[in-house]
Chain A
Amino acid sequence: MEKTLRSVFIGEVAELPQKLGKTVIVGNKEIAVFKTENGDIRAIENRCPHKGGVLAEGILSGEYVFCPMHDWKISVKDGNVQAPDVGCVQTYPVEVKSGQVYVLIRE
């Protein structure tokens, strides 16, 4: 089966909370979508590699989210866990077209 990128509309830019995450459920996938302070929109897997914490509820500072469970620091840009912890989460490309936000999911 060939894998394709599917573009999923998740809402208007204006409807996403600033400096916070939003939980987006696509099928059985949970994605955390963040609107950062400078307006960038980032999408990562809503699951901390440590103990499965919901990253969408973490504190967002610049390009990093702090997991609400045990404070792991994870880049919302490239999904990398920051030292001293290690690991990474899956990231999803985001497209914004005339104020509408699409997350690209590989199927």
Chain B
Amino acid sequence: MIKQKLVLIGNGMAGVRAIEEVLKINPDGFEVTIFGTEPYPNYNRIQLSKVLQGGTSVSDITLNDWEWYQDNMIRFYPGETVTAINTKTKTVSTDKGRTESYDQLIIATGSNPFMLPLPGADKEGVKAFRNIKDCEEMIEYSKKHKKAAVIGGGLLGLEAARGLLNLGMEVDVIHIFDYLMERQLDRTAGKLLQAELEKQGMNFILQKNTAEITGRKHVTGLKFSDGSRIKADLVVMAVGIKPNVALAQEAGIPVNRGILVNDYLETDIPNVFAVGECAEHRGIAYGLVAPLYQQGQVLAKRLCGVRDNGYQGSVLSTQLKVSGVDVFSAGKINEDESTKVYKMYDDWNGTYKKVLIEDGKIAGAVLFGDTKDGNKLFDFIKKGALIEEYLESSQSANSEVNLVASMSDEEIICGCNGVTKGSIVEAIKANGLTTVDQVTGCTNASRSCGGCKSLVSDLLACTLGEHYQADQKEAICGCTTLSRDEVLAEIREKGLTHIREVMNVLEWESDGCSKCKPALNYYLGMINPLKYQDEHEARYVNERMHANIQKDGTYSVVPRMYGGVTTSEDLRKIADVADKYKVGMIKVTGGQRIDLLGVYKEDLPKIWAELDMPSGSAYSKGLRTVKTCVGENFCRFGTQDSIGMGIRLERKFEGLNTPHKVKMAVSACPRNCAESGIKDVGVVGVEGAWEMYVGGNGGTHLREADLLFKFKSGDELVEMIGAFLQYYRESAKYLERTSAWVERLGIDHIREVLSDELMVKEYNNRIDEALSVVQDPWKEAINNKNLLRDLYQNVKVPVETK
């Protein structure tokens, strides 16, 4: 497949998020190029105030480090600005004289700080607060100067002011309104906030219009419209932002306040998209992170051709992150004739809560001091829930853990990234997560503003708490007290790469055993299929030798026979080999294959070479066989080509490692001659459709498979089997058959997880990655002298004759 050239202008949060989403859906579809004016990898602009406040370096707020660009083979030009877009030749050119062509172009140029056109605004010492360079300059200033003035008492201005205060400056905040953050707060909350910040040392000058910035070359102060003055060595303008549309406008792309986009983030020009603060959707240019991320997801789906309802606009919520002050607001903020109010004001504890109700439904909320209910309220506002629902839920919520426990699975925990409670719990369970950071790494929850960290940690306590009770924390073996989930979490978190390292770092009590070593070998390979070097000495004899050991130390050989179909030529080869090596027995297996029993170890490689057939994997913790019935081509009852489907599945998944063996079958009618009802994955063809059954077992724990889905097309079936197998690979314990795993997770839960189209795609991407490194083990052994010597040759010492 030829990759499309995808060019991103702007290396900020919105654009890079869109690229991340694209890579998730289709990692191989695009050749990605990113231009960024700032000389840094993508960082979290929301946390700029932390850099300003000191103690936080750029790398601490970096979202995608340099390696991320390399690992994803993204061509990244930091410190390079795109100066022109030519939509006719489909190229962009830069200030460094580079010209780059594109198939798809994303404009994510963000916004510029709005600088008031005041007399004196060009003097030295007048700054914006927008990027890392601004922060660095302000930090430099604070070393030499004392007095700062911040124009703007909104979110940005207050964060800048707090930072400057931390740097030891005296700070005046000038605001045109009579209370702070008037766009997000009502007067009561605004005044409470002011009082709190005054306690921290901020000085406020309200209802003042700045008329002039005074000074000669360098700023010395401000003059207001009423004639009064203040002194200042540094002036920070934080009155707002405006979408950065200049580049688009010059290229003839229609703009209003922002670059005009439709529900799919398409501009008026084909193959040109805009996302983030620079884009204007249904009349709104958003300046907060949650909507930008939602846009990024929609854009990625559009680029990858995944169907979607498009972007429908966002309800906004705000959380102020000034140390020691918790403020939250969402939806409607101020009362009018049509609203009723639920209000609580606790002067003693300094908390304030206001919920606005319209026609009995929650329409908005303002919280001060205690913002725990913020996410819940935000969710209720988006759903248009009745006020009673909120009041009831707050009564039942005694502790915080109970609060998260009482939330529904669809409730959003992380507003910035749109992560629900359900998906966090799911990730915690599936990947054995134990810390907030791991949850962040896995789900993106609390990756942006960090406001939901406490909720995530409550959720961990609540999920793991139950888990411990249910599971009694099952250690993977006697060498450690850690459970499977904990070990996996540690491997992921610490980036462990081999068995010995895992045992050392996680303080194993011995040198490992026959339980943990094969398990660790599997987990390490599952987590990092491309880089992990399989340790054959940690595998059970059958898997190491690629043959089944028998009670007398001889082995059996089962060649691959896709779908159980063979040819006279293959049969002849098998017969010849059986004769030549005098095999003890030739038998048909339960999985429709031919087994040559009683083969000596030293003969294995020779037999494989002479057979010249792939390994049948009859020994593996992996895909064994796909059994098939005769199907529509011969059988008078057959409704589908079961043999064709069986061969297709076996070719796709052969050589896959799984927690335990996986047996499959495809039958062409409900008579089920291939016995699909007792297979790990059993397919039953019916008129015009395929039924997919999972979790069946014909062995020790006889279990009838559950119907998972029904598909009209074979392609959909194969895709779902890929997703199912990968889900099993990632979440089952080593040596847990699908039957036990399905019972543990519940078929409804599995169905729900696999009903998400995006999840199915992602599971398939990961299983394809695992399959991409599969090699035929027999060929590998035959061609590797060291393997032949180490595994298959004995040392024979002749007896001395006396």
Contacts and interface: CB of A to CB of B under 8 A. Distances in A.
Contacts of B799: 26-27
A58 to B, nearest CB: 7
B795 interface: yes
Contacts of A60: 537
B537 A26 contact: no
A57 B511 contact: no
A53 B257 CA distance: 79
A11 B790 contact: no
A61 B795 contact: no
A17 B786 CA distance: 9
A45 to B, nearest CB: 13
B549 A25 contact: no
A10 B794 CA distance: 10
Nearest to B552: A52
B518 interface: yes
Which of A19, A25, A62: most chain B CB closer than 10 A?
A19
A89 interface: no
A57 B545 contact: yes
B551 A15 contact: no
Given A59-B517, A59-B538, A26 B797 contact: yes
Contact of A61 (B514, B549, B552): B514
A69 B518 CA distance: 15
B565 interface: no
Interface string B627-641: 000000000000000
B797 A25 contact: yes
A8 B789 CA distance: 19
Contacts of B513: 59, 61, 64, 66, 73
A15 B786 CA distance: 9
Given A20-B790, A62-B510, A68-B549, A11 B795 contact: yes
Nearest to B795: A24
Nearest to B602: A23
A22 B553 contact: no
B540 interface: yes
A85 interface: no
Interface in A46-75: 51-54, 57-64, 66, 68-69, 71, 73
Interface in B531-579: 537-541, 544-545, 549, 551-553
Interface string B361-388: 0000000000000000000000000000
A69 B795 CA distance: 22
A53 B551 CA distance: 7
Contacts of A73: 513-514
A25 B512 contact: no
Interface in A1-45: 6, 8-11, 15, 17-20, 22-27, 33, 37
Contacts of B545: 57
B735 to A, nearest CB: 13
B794 A20 contact: no
Nearest to A6: B800
Which of B790, B795, B797: most chain A CB closer than 10 A?
B795
Contacts of B553: 52-54, 57
A37 to B, nearest CB: 7
B90 interface: no
Nearest to B786: A17
B797 A24 contact: yes
B512 A58 contact: no
B796 A61 contact: no
A23 B517 CA distance: 22
B467 interface: no
Contacts of A8: 797
A66 to B, nearest CB: 4
A17 B791 contact: yes
A33 to B, nearest CB: 8
A68 B537 contact: no
Contact of B789 (A15, A26, A52): A15
Contacts of A68: 540-541, 549
B670 to A, nearest CB: 41
B549 A22 contact: no
Interface in B446-470: none
Contacts of B601: 23
Nearest to B539: A59
Contacts of A9: 797
Contact of A10 (B514, B789, B795): B795
B751 interface: no
Interface string B763-802: 0000000000000000000000000011100111101100
A13 B90 CA distance: 64
B500 interface: yes
A27 B799 CA distance: 5
A39 B537 CA distance: 15
B364 to A, nearest CB: 63
A61 B517 contact: yes
Contacts of B551: 51-52, 69
Interface in B241-263: none
Contacts of A27: 797, 799
Nearest to A54: B553
Interface of B: 500, 510-514, 517-518, 537-541, 544-545, 549, 551-553, 601, 789-791, 794-797, 799-800
Interface of A: 6, 8-11, 15, 17-20, 22-27, 33, 37, 51-54, 57-64, 66, 68-69, 71, 73
21 contacts: A6-B800, A8-B797, A10-B795, A15-B789, A17-B537, A22-B790, A24-B797, A26-B797, A27-B797, A27-B799, A37-B500, A53-B553, A58-B514, A59-B518, A59-B541, A61-B517, A64-B511, A64-B513, A68-B549, A71-B514, A73-B514
Given A24-B796, A57-B553, A61-B512, 4 more contacts: A59-B517, A61-B510, A68-B549, A73-B514
